[in-house]
Amino acid sequence: MNALERKNVEAVTAFIENEANHGELYRTDQFFAPQITEAFTDRSCAVDEILIQGDKVTARILITGTHTGSFAGNLPTGKAVKVTQFREFRVVDGEIIEHRGWFDTGTLLHQIQAVKQ
């Protein structure tokens, strides 16, 4: 990893770890995304893995929380959950200029037993 890539990884990691940015992290174009913040009010996130190629940084983020609100039509279960979010960032000169993400809602629904086996 060269110095510029290291700087870009540091910018993304700092963004993810800063709780003030978590509102941005939970926004995606996915249908269920707005419900994540309402259904898992004690959620926290941590960087699980980062991949970098030039100005593109992809982060796998592990989100943990408790199912305390309605999610996808499922009433609160009180269960602890772990969900993966993937987020792609474009970083120029150490500044994030765009990012987008998606959640692994299939795994999340299974954890709250919304999907029957």
Q: Residues 6 or more apart from 117 whose CB is under 8 A from it?
A: none
pLDDT attached to residue 114:
60
74 pLDDT more than 80: yes
Can you give the pLDDT at residue 117? 43
| pLDDT, tens digit, 9 for 90 and up, residues 8-48 | 999 999 999 888 888 888 888 888 888 888 999 898 989 99
Query: What pLDDT sits at residue 80?
Result: 95
Q: Which residues contact 62 (CB under 8 A, 6 or more apart)?
A: 45, 46, 48, 82, 83, 84
Helix and strand numbers (H, E) in the chain are: 4, 4
Rounded mean pLDDT, 89-117: 86
Residue of higher predicted confidence among 25 and 7:
7
